[in-house]
Amino acid sequence: MSGVTDTVFRRFIKRLGGCGLIMTEFTSADGVLRNERAQGRYLHFYEDEHPISAQLFGSNPSVLADAARLVEDLGFDLVDLNLGCPAKKVVKCNGGSGLLRDLPLIRQIFEAVRAAVKIPFTVKFRAGWNDDEIVCVELARLAESCGLNAVALHARTREQGYSGHARWEWIASVKQAVKIPVIGNGDIRSPEDACAIVAQTGCDAVMIGRMAPANPWIFRQIEQYVSRVGTGDLARPTERSSAEKMYDEPTEADRYKMIRTYFQMLLEEGMPGAEGKMKQFASWFTHGVPAGAALRKTIYDAKSGSEILGRVDEFFEEKLAAQTS
């Protein structure tokens, strides 16, 4: 996700455990070829991030092919093409979901990138431009015929953006249409949702986007849920007793450690605009924290990264002390 899945956040998620594959924020193919600084910002990763995929967007087959070669040369394990972003500034440049109305051009891109690299090549796309232009099955078959290794479907249209509900039945239709792995995405907010989408669609894996910053433990929770429930019971999560603990919920101490660890990592990395990033993530990380609004206000009012850390320490140390008194 743009502005979220930077190097620091990816490494942070990796430390928490449970995530099998991480992906860069979606990156302009033209931008990284023209600008070395863009390469350093968007295509930098550490060895402990493997396996890692670089996600590119653009509409020029030769440019995307060259960018894919760069990705391979940099040591990424996979390259992914983004045909899902609904943002107007991306769509107006014929990137992201803006390409969904031009399947012949998508074929050219698939063929050019596939011929350019040996690493696995995947694509993420939406179901179509709108409800009258659903192309997900045709697009998945096209990807398979062009030698792509997997497809990921966000089961909404471009017109929907992030509103309404994801139509998981579209994922099921794609799964029935192709033999390559299908990854399901959309409205996966809990381990129960992750297991339900697999059970209902037959998809081979799930992709988590917006829930990752809201609940960074979700990958580990899914892993715990699957191991404790057993794959044979995934279709019936509600039949179990609500008192039976299927995955670990974060404690106040866990939340404190999580927030402080991520903020400290931002400062240690020397990321430009670290204070702004801390304030951005505060709204997600304090979700579910009692009196979280007060913590957010103190973070927003702080003038430096060290001041933000101090206010986080003060807030949680008072809460934890009250619990033990």
Q: What is the pLDDT of residues 216-269, one digit of tens each?
A: 999 999 999 998 886 555 555 545 545 467 899 988 889 889 999 988 988 888
Measured CA distances, 30 to 15, 41, 82 (Å): 32, 14, 14
274-289 pLDDT, tens digit each: 888 888 888 888 877 8
206-221 pLDDT, tens digit each: 999 989 988 999 999 9
> What pLDDT shows up at residue 54?
97
CB-CB contact of 59 with 105 (8 Å): yes
Measured CA distances, 165 to 128, 170, 212 (Å): 15, 12, 18
CB-CB contact of 295 with 282 (8 Å): yes
Say whether pLDDT at 118 is over 70.
yes
58-67 pLDDT, tens digit each: 999 999 999 9
**Mean pLDDT in residue range 162-173:** 95
**Mean pLDDT in residue range 186-196:** 94
- Active-site residue identified among 85, 136, 146, 195: 85
76-117 pLDDT, tens digit each: 999 999 999 888 888 888 889 999 999 999 999 999 999 999
User: At 28, is the secondary structure helix, strand, or coil?
Assistant: strand
Say whether pLDDT at 159 is over 70.
yes
Please list the residues that pair with 27 across neighbouring strands: 56
Task: Take residue 70 and report the two structure tokens written for it.
Answer: 């760069």
Among the listed ranges 27-41, 185-199, 229-243, which one has the minimum average pLDDT value?
Answer: 229-243
136 is catalytic: no
> What pLDDT shows up at residue 243?
44
> What pLDDT shows up at residue 40?
83
DSSP E strand boundaries for 73-180: 78-83, 121-126, 150-154
Give the percent of the chain with pLDDT over 90: 64
Fold of 7-239: TIM Barrel (3.20.20)
Terminal C-alpha separation, the chain: 42
Please list the residues that pair with 123 across neighbouring strands: 81, 151
Say whether pLDDT at 321 is over 90.
no
Distance CA 267, CA 274 (A): 6
